[in-house]
């Protein structure tokens, strides 16, 4: 059975795949801009607490369910449910997760397509194809549609190849490259005038903001989105982990990698913005806040690269390669959720499922591309602000209130025989039962 479903071949492979899912546009784009508009290090501080106190326990819930059930979210949640009425809820939660993650992928692939287009632009200029370069960075429906298709084709290609030969192989190549590019870019930006002002804006805390409810909501949303929680991604990756692995340890490594890369990305984006300011680029919006939305990545940073001459082209390629890699290792984890379900539940061939479901999601993306204004924000808000935290809550409730405590301990003990006496087991069950649900609801109703 395990061999049929696929399994990560090593701890490194799992870590690259799971941190690849977690590290995405949310880290490199979302986190630094959230920090900049929410009091710098005050946000960082709150985010760190929420990530480890709320998101990490929720991540562990998904990994443990996944590895126990060795199945997709629908089948896994059903297997934990003792009664038909609860099984019904399980199926519903699993399905809403599948729909939510598919919709997340449908908007994520649009933004990822932009990253891909910006990646190719400097090459076109180098070849003297300036008209093509201009077309690549002009916000047209045709460009967006074409690049959604290219990006989704890459995602489908990797998922078709399976867990070990697709997800693990590509994540193990792409994630170390991402790290190297990120560090090199930080080192380079630090040498430029203006960078230190950006560092200050990022790292000097404005603690007057910490009591602001918006900061809490933003930090929790960021933590859930960033760790890919609630939609069954981590559950399905958990289902491919070997029974020999120590779950609390590898879960905390994933959280550490995710948070670490978000913090590092802040060291790149904010200094880069202030370097842009130094070079005469407008980095503040009409309200005096830092430009944060799409404008940051597709206007402020490209404007900065343009002021840097030939080296600007190299930096632009490196930066958009970074963004594309971050997107791709996340998008594959999203497509894996509905694909695994169709393969396991309906007996579909993996390749066919990946192509069929991928095509359907691409179609939804194209509908959004051609109806951008009414649809894009709506889909983002519905999926990430409403659906994801609520689903995360249900996962916690299933583990803490429905599943049998001994069975959970038994699962954790595999790969971690002395789990019972460890710190994790002393704290986590209480957390997942009381603190996480109450905190998620409290922040949700803010």
Q: Smallest distance, Å, CB 270 to ligand PFF?
A: 18
Name the residue with tokens 């301990």: 409
Min CB(229)–ligand PFF separation in Å: 8
Q: What is the C-alpha separation between 120 and 320, in angstroms, rounded?
A: 9
CA contacts within 13 A on the Cβ side of 265: 28
Nearest to 151 by CA among 347, 381, 326: 326
Residues 270 and 201: beta-carbon distance below 8 Å: yes
Which window, 25-33, 46-54, 141-149, 309-317, contacts ligand PFF (CB under 6 A)? 25-33
Question: Residue 290: helix, strand or coil by DSSP?
Answer: strand
Q: Cα separation of 271 and 349, whole Å?
A: 48
Q: How far is the CB of 2 from ligand PFF (least distance, A)?
A: 23
Listed ranges 4-12, 17-25, 268-276, 394-402: which one lies at the site for ligand PFF (CB under 6 A): 17-25
Give the footprint of ligand PFF on residues 26-85 (CB under 6 A): 26-27
Other Cβ atoms less than 10 A from the Cβ of 6: the count is: 19
Which span (5-13, 135-143, 183-191, 224-232) binds ligand PFF, by CB under 6 A?
Answer: 224-232
* Structural contact between residues 80 and 397, judged by C-beta atoms closer than 8 angstroms: no
**Which of 237, 243, 202, 249 lies closest to 419, judged by CA?**
249
- Which of 60, 80, 104, 412 touches ligand PFF (CB under 6 A)? 104
Nearest partner of 242 among 406, 10, 21, 410, judged by Cα: 10
Q: With respect to ligand PFF, which residue has the nearer C-beta, 234 or 275?
A: 234
Contact status: 155 vs ligand PFF (CB under 6 A): no
- Select the span of 204-212, 220-228, 352-360, 405-413 touching ligand PFF (CB under 6 A): 220-228
* Residues near ligand PFF (CB under 6 A), total: 16
Please tell me whether residue 106 binds ligand PFF under the rule CB under 6 A: no
Least Å from the CB of residue 101 to ligand PFF: 5
Give the residue, chosen from 155, 228, 299, 365, that forms a contact with ligand PFF under the rule CB under 6 A.
228
- Which residue lies nearer to ligand PFF by CB, 160 or 228? 228
Which DSSP category does 209 fall into? G
In angstroms, the CA 119 to CA 181 distance is: 14
- Which of 50, 55, 61, 231: binder of ligand PFF (CB under 6 A)? 231
Residue 341 — φ and ψ, nearest 5°? -60, -45
Mark 305-344 with x for binding to ligand PFF (rule: CB under 6 A) and - for no binding: -------------------------x--xx----------
Q: Round to whole Å and give the CA distance between 22 and 30.
A: 12
Shortest distance (Å) from residue 395 CB to ligand PFF: 13
Q: Does position 220 bind ligand PFF by CB under 6 A?
A: no
> How many beta carbons lie within 10 A of that of residue 74, not counting itself?
21
Binding site for ligand PFF (CB under 6 A): 21-22, 24-27, 101, 104, 225-226, 228, 231, 233, 330, 333-334
């Amino acid at each position: 059975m395990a061999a049929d479903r696929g399994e990560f071949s090593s701890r490194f492979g799992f870590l690259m795949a799971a941190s690849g899912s977690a590290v995405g546009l949310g880290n490199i784009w979302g986190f630094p801009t959230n920090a900049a508009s929410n009091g710098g290090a005050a946000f960082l501080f709150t985010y760190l607490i929420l990530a480890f106190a709320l998101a990490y326990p929720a991540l562990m819930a998904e990994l443990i369910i996944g590895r126990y059930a060795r199945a997709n979210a629908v089948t896994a949640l059903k297997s934990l449910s003792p009664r038909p009425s609860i099984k019904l809820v399980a199926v519903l939660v699993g399905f809403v997760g599948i729909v939510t993650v598919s919709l997340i992928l449908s908007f994520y692939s649009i933004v990822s397509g932009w990253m891909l287009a910006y990646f190719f632009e400097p090459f076109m200029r180098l070849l003297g194809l300036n008209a093509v370069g201009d077309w690549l960075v002009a916000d047209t429906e045709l460009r967006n549609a074409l690049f959604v298709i290219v990006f989704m084709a890459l995602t489908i290609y990797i998922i078709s190849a399976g867990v070990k030969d697709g997800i693990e192989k590509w994540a193990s190549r792409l994630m170390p490259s991402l790290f190297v590019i990120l560090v090199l870019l930080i080192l380079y930006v630090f040498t430029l005038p203006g960078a230190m002002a950006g560092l200050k804006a990022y790292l000097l805390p404005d603690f007057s903001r910490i009591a602001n409810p918006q900061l809490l909501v933003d930090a929790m949303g960021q933590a859930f989105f960033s760790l890919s929680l609630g939609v069954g991604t981590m559950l399905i990756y958990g289902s491919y982990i070997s029974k020999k692995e120590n779950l609390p340890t590898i879960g905390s490594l994933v959280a550490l990698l995710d948070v670490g890369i978000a913090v590092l990305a802040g060291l790149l984006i904010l200094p880069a913005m202030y370097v842009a300011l130094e070079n005469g680029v407008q980095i503040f919006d009409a309200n005096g806040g830092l430009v944060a939305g799409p404008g940051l990545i597709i206007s402020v940073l490209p404007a900065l690269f343009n002021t840097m001459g030939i080296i600007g082209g190299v930096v632009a390629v490196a930066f958009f390669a970074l963004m594309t890699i971050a997107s791709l290792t996340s998008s594959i984890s999203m497509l894996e959720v509905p694909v695994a379900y169709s393969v396991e539940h309906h007996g579909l061939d993996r390749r066919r499922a990946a192509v069929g479901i991928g095509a359907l999601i691409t179609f939804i993306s194209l509908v959004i591309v051609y109806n951008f204004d009414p649809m894009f924000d709506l889909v983002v808000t519905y999926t990430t602000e409403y659906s994801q935290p609520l689903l995360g809550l249900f996962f916690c409730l299933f583990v803490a209130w429905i599943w049998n405590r001994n069975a959970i301990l038994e699962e954790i003990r595999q790969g971690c025989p002395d789990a019972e006496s460890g710190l994790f087991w002393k704290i986590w069950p209480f957390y997942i039962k009381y603190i996480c649900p109450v905190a998620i609801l409290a922040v949700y109703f803010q």
